[in-house]
Amino acid sequence: MTDRDRDGPEAGPKEWHSAKLDFSRDMSYADYLALDDILHAQHPLSPDRNEMLFIIQHQTSELWMKLMLHELNGAIESVRGDRLPPAFKMLARVSRIMEQLVKAWDVLATMTPPEYSAIRPWLGQSSGFQSYQYREIEFRLGNKNPAMLKPHEHNPERLAEVTAALYAPSLYDEAIELLARRGFAIAPEVLTRDRTQPTAYDASVEAAWAEVYRNAEEHWELYELAEELIDLEDAFRLWRFRHVTTVERVIGFKRGTGGTAGVAYLRKMLDVVLFPELWRVRTSM
């Protein structure tokens, strides 16, 4: 037993006496994290106290999305460079972040319809539909749609970012390229497809994944990649589902501030399949 253990929780001030307390010349916690910037970035427009929840919920989601994109882009690079183990690490992190965002809906769901109605008029026509990080995540995962650039046309910097993601090969495109590099017969039109269009099902890709799953021992890295992708889409589906359910409980069937039908639009988004062959291949096992 050390002296520290013996002192117990009621030990005197000596436990923190050595702590650094003067930051007039050195970098502190708040300095390193730029806390003065992020903690002064909440600007409620309404007189309603619940607006703070609404703002922080979205700001924290955008911060997590920033990290998701960082990891997702790292994973795309790694798959392209045939470095699978680091890609697995990054993709696992992306999925855990998505799960974190799924859980975060519980906090927002404490907001009742009358509470939200007090804030909603102040939101104008702004909407999550205009989240450029979310759109980039969708594009990086292969759910491409050139029409989704439009809300960013007024801001050249954001437009450039989202446009780059629209034209770049998605994570799944890179996975399919990898299948081809590892000797699987992938239809040539899949490899030369228009990258600005959403991923579309292809039988040669399903056949390749079927072989991977049947001979997992032989194709262990591809097998692991497939399961990482399934994990990620699974988490993403849960996020979409919690979004539409939270929206329905808070605004019912009102139209969205972004101009869509609201719940009907979000329900339609539940039909999106990011990695179609990976889901279809399960039927044949």
Q: Which residues are annotated as a binding site for heme?
A: 243
251: contact with ligand NFK by CB under 6 A: yes
- Angstrom distance (rounded) from CA 46 to CA 119: 6
**Separation of alpha carbons 28 and 22, rounded Å:** 9
Q: Which is nearer to ligand NFK, 42 or 284 (CB)?
A: 42
Q: Is 50 in the site for ligand HEM (CB under 6 A)?
A: no
Q: How far is CA 3 from CA 9, 10, 15, 20, 41, in A?
A: 12, 13, 11, 22, 45
126 lies in the site for ligand NFK, by CB under 6 A: yes
Please say which residue, 46 or 127, places its beta carbon nearer to ligand NFK. Answer: 127
Q: According to the binding rule CB under 6 A, does residue 250 interact with ligand HEM?
A: yes
Q: Which residues are annotated as a binding site?
A: 54-58, 116, 120, 243, 257
Stretch near ligand HEM under the rule CB under 6 A, chosen from 31-39, 80-88, 167-175, 246-254 = 246-254
58 binds ligand NFK (CB under 6 A): yes
- In the complex, the smallest distance separating the C-beta of residue 7 from ligand HEM, rounded to whole angstroms, is 45
Q: How far is the CB of 135 from ligand HEM (least distance, A)?
A: 8
Minimum distance between the CB of residue 37 and ligand HEM, rounded to whole angstroms?
A: 20
Sign of the alpha-carbon torsion through 63, 69, 72, 78: negative
Q: 10-29: which residues touch ligand NFK (CB under 6 A)? A: none
Write out the two tokens for 129. Answer: 């539909």
Counting contacts by CB under 6 A, is residue 260 touching ligand HEM? yes
Copy the structure tokens of residue 167. 């034209």
Q: Interface with ligand HEM includes 247 (CB under 6 A)?
A: yes
Cα gap 218→215, rounded to integer Å: 5
What percent of the chain is helix, strand and coil (3-state, nearest 5)? 65, 0, 35
Task: Please select the residue that binds ligand HEM; options are 180, 187, 251, 273, rule is CB under 6 A.
Answer: 251
**Listed ranges 157-165, 169-177, 211-219, 255-263: which one lies at the site for ligand NFK (CB under 6 A):** 255-263
CB neighbours (10 Å) of residue 249? 14
Q: Is 257 in the site for ligand NFK (CB under 6 A)?
A: yes
Buried b (16+ CB within 10 A) or exposed e, 194-216: eeeebbeebebbbbbbbbbbeee
Taking CB under 6 A as the rule, does residue 131 contact ligand HEM?
Answer: yes
Query: Which residue, among 138, 100, 61, 99, has the nearest Cα to 235 in the 3D structure?
Result: 99
From the list ligand NFK, ligand HEM, none, which binds 123 (C-beta under 5 to 8 Å, kind-based)? ligand NFK
DSSP 214: H
Torsion of CA 84, 196, 65, 67, to 10 degrees: 40
Q: Which is nearer to ligand NFK, 74 or 128 (CB)?
A: 128
What string of DSSP letters covers 109-127?
TTS-HHHHHHHGGGGTT--
> Which residues lie near ligand HEM (CB under 6 A)?
57-58, 61, 108, 116, 127-129, 131, 134, 243, 246-247, 250-251, 256-260, 262, 265-266, 269
> Which residues lie near ligand NFK (CB under 6 A)?
58, 120, 123, 126-128, 251, 256-258
